[in-house]
Structure 1
Amino acid sequence: MKEYNKILVVINPTTDHQAALDRAIDLAAKNNAEITAFLSIFDFSYEMTSILSSHEREAMRQGVIDQRTEWLKNLIQQTNHSGLTINIEVIWHNRPFESVINYAISEHCDLIVKSTHNHDKLKAVIFTPTDWHLMRKAPMPVLLVKEHDWPVKGKILCAVNVAAEDENQQNLNGKIIQHAKGLAENFSAEIHLVNGYPGTPVNLAIELPDFDANAYNDNLRMQHEQRVQYLAETYDIPLNNCHVQEGLPEDVIPDLATSLDAELVILGTVGRTGFSAALIGNTAEHVIDSLSCDLLALKPDGFKSPLAE
C-alpha cells in the first residue's frame, strides 16, 4: 500500500462532531500527510431569487461561503490535530459528490474520508446517497467512517472474491490485502480474510434427481477454502485468520465483522453505474448499512472515473 500524502475529508455541515476528520487526523499522523477539510454547500433558494441581479446573488453566495469557512476554521482549531497541516476548502456546488470527486482528482488526493450513517433502503434505490456515488465513481480509495474506535491491536477484515480466477480480480484481491497490511503495520492490527460462497442452487436438486447436493456444496466450499488459503500464504497471513462461509457476501461480511469486533472492513468495488446500479448495487453498498465499523472501498487499478471523462 502506498502511503497517504494528501487526504480529503468531507465535512458534515449539520454537526460540530466530525468523525471523518478525527479518523483522517489519525491516518495523517501515521503518514505525515496533508489534510484538506472540504465542504460543499448549496441553497436552491439563492438561485431562485429573480429580483436580484447576478452580482447580488453571487455576493449572497459568497457571504454564505465566508460564514461556513469561519465555522470550519473554528471547528478545526478546537480539534487536536497534533500540528498537522489542515487546509480548508468551501465551495458552492449543487451536487456534493461531483464537487468532492472533481476536487480530489484535480488535487491528486490519495484518499477520501467521509462519515456515514444508515440509509433508508427505499430512498436509497431512488435517490442514490452521496456515499454510493463516491464508492462508484471516485478513482481513489474511499473510507466511510462510523462511530467505532480503531483500538491498538484491533482487527482489519479483508473481503476477498475468489469465485473468479481472472487476473483483474486477483489483482484487486492483492490490492485489498496490501492496503490492509499497510494499515495493520501503522495501527498494530490483525488481518483477517473473509469469503462468502453461494449455497447449492435449489433448481439443480429439483431438476436432477441424481444430483448430490451435499457433495456439490462440500466441493464448492473446498475450492473457496483452497483459494483463500493460497492468498493467505502468499501474503503471510495466518491460516487461522481465514474465514470461508456459505452465504451472500452482504450477509457474511457484516456478521463476521460483528463477531470479530473488527475496526475496519476493506473490499473492492467495481464502480457500477446507471440503471443496473440502481437495481442491483454493489456489494459495498449492501454491506455499509449493516456494518458498525468503518468501510474502505477500493477500485481496480486503471479505473477511470466517469466524471473525469
Structure 2
Amino acid sequence: MQKYKNILVVADPEKEQQPSISRAVHIAKMTKDVKIVVFLAIYDFSYEMTSMLSSDERDAMRRGVVMQREEWLKEIIAPHLEQGIDIEIKVVWHNRPYEAIIADVYSQEIDLLVKATHEHDRLGSVIFTPTDWHLLRKCPIPVLLVKGNNWPEHGKVLSCVNISTDDDTHDGLNDKIVKESLAFASIANAEVNLVNAYPATPVNITIELPEFDPASYTDAVRGHHLTTMKALRQKYGISEEQTHVLEGLPEDIIPQVAEDIKAELVILGTTGRTGLSAVFIGNTAENTIDSLNCDLLALKPDGYVSPLSPNLD
C-alpha cells in the first residue's frame, strides 16, 4: 500500500465531524511518507451580488470568509498534526466544487481523492447533479467515497468485476480492481471477495421464439461467468469461497453481497460516461452508491482522460 503518497481530502463545510479526514489519516498511519491535503471549495452568491461594494471590498469579504474556514479546518486537523501526520489545508473560493477539486488533483499530482458522501434524492440528482457524481464521472484518479463507519481489523473488501465480455478495457479494469482490492486489504488485514452479476434471460426472447430453452440459456450464461471468474480468482490466489457469481443487475447484487459478507469497502470501475445516457440511465457506480452502507472506491480504466484535464485546453 505504498502507492498513495499524496491524498486529497474534500472537507464537508456543513458538518463538524469529518469522516473523510479520519479515513485518510487511517490510511496514512498504516503506510509511510503520506501527505494529506484537506481541501475546501466555498462560494456564496450573495457576495457577488452586493453592487454597493467595490470589487476590492468584495475581494476582502471573500478573503475573510476563506480565512474563517481555514481557522475552522486548523482546529480539526490539530490533533492529527500532534500525532505526526503530514497534513495541510487549502481553502479556495469557487462556485463549482468538483472543478476546483479536479484542478487541484492535477496541480498537486494527487494519487487518491477521499470524500464523505450521503444519500441523494434520486429525482433531485437528475436536475442538480451532486458533486459526488461529477467526481465519479470526471476525476482521473481513484475516488474513495466514505460513509462514516471505521474499518475493522480483519474485515472484508468486495471487488466488483465485469466478466461478461471479452473486452481489453474491461479485462484491464478487472485486473486493476482486483490489484487495488488486494492493496487496500493489506491496510487492515482484510479479506478480498469478488462479485459478478450476470443478466437474467430476457422475457421477450421466450415469447418471440417458442422453441427457445431459457433454462439451457441461463445455464450457459452462468457457466461462462463461473469459468471466467475461476480464471480471474486463480490468477490472484483468491479462494472459491470468496467469489460470488449471481443472477441479477449489478446495482442490486453488489449491495446485497456487500451486506451479506459485511464488507467495509466496495471497489468497482466506472468508465466516466457523460451526457444524457449518464443522467437518465446512470453508471453502475452511481446506481449502487446510495444502497451501500460502507465505503466505495471507484476506479477509472488506464488511459482515461478527464474532460477537465488541463492538457485538453
Secondary structure of 1:117's counterpart equals: coil
Deviations 1:111-143 (A, max 9, x none): 000000000010011111000000100000000
- Matching of residues 139-288 of structure 1 within 5 Å: 139-288=140-289
Q: Gaps (5+ residues) in structure 2?
A: none
Q: How many Å separate the matches in 1 of 2:27 and 2:109?
A: 17
Secondary structure of 2:17's counterpart equals: coil
Q: Gaps (5+ residues) in structure 1?
A: none
Aligned-pair CA distance for 1:3 = 1.3
Query: 1:155·1:189 contact (CA, 8 Å) conserved in 2?
Result: yes
Structure-2 residue corresponding to 1:28 = 28
Q: How many Å separate the matches in 2 of 1:169 and 1:187?
A: 28
Query: 1:135·1:269 contact (CA, 8 Å) conserved in 2?
Result: yes
Q: How many Å separate the matches in 1 of 2:82 and 2:203?
A: 55
Aligned-pair CA distance for 1:281 = 1.3
Structure-1 residue corresponding to 2:39 = 38
Secondary structure of 2:65's counterpart equals: helix
Q: How many Å separate the matches in 2 of 1:224 and 1:128?
A: 34
TM-score (norm. length: structure 1) = 0.98
Q: Which has the larger displacement, 74-83 or 184-193?
A: 74-83
Q: How many Å separate the matches in 1 of 2:261 and 2:12?
A: 29
Deviations 1:71-120 (A, max 9, x none): 11011114477311111000000000000011011100000000000000
Q: Which has the larger displacement, 295-304 or 182-191?
A: 182-191
- Matching of residues 108-147 of structure 1 within 5 Å: 108-147=109-148
Q: How many Å separate the matches in 2 of 1:185 and 1:14?
A: 33
Q: How many Å separate the matches in 1 of 2:10 and 2:217?
A: 47
| 1:290 partnered with 2:291 | yes
- Number of aligned positions between the proteins: 309
Structure-2 residue corresponding to 1:7 = 7
Query: 1:8·1:109 contact (CA, 8 Å) conserved in 2?
Result: yes
Q: How many Å separate the matches in 2 of 1:71 and 1:243?
A: 45
Query: 1:162·1:227 contact (CA, 8 Å) conserved in 2?
Result: yes
Q: How many Å separate the matches in 2 of 1:81 and 1:36?
A: 16
Q: How many Å separate the matches in 2 of 1:148 and 1:75?
A: 18
Deviations 1:208-248 (A, max 9, x none): 11111011001101101111111000011111111000000
Q: How many Å separate the matches in 2 of 1:29 and 1:232?
A: 30
Q: How many Å separate the matches in 1 of 2:236 and 2:117?
A: 31
Secondary structure of 2:277's counterpart equals: helix
Aligned-pair CA distance for 1:277 = 1.1
Q: What letter matches 1:57 in structure 2?
A: R
Aligned-pair CA distance for 1:15 = 1.1
Deviations 1:176-233 (A, max 9, x none): 0001111112210000000001000001100111111011001101101111111000
TM-score (norm. length: structure 2) = 0.97
Aligned-pair CA distance for 1:31 = 2.4
Q: What letter matches 2:278 in structure 1?
A: A
- Matching of residues 85-124 of structure 1 within 5 Å: 85-124=86-125
Identity %: 53
Q: What value does the CA root-mean-square deviation take over the aligned residues?
A: 1.1
Secondary structure of 1:306's counterpart equals: coil
Query: 1:3·1:31 contact (CA, 8 Å) conserved in 2?
Result: no
Q: Which has the larger displacement, 181-190 or 4-13?
A: 181-190
Secondary structure of 1:186's counterpart equals: coil
Runs (4+) off by over 6 Å: none
| 1:83 partnered with 2:95 | no
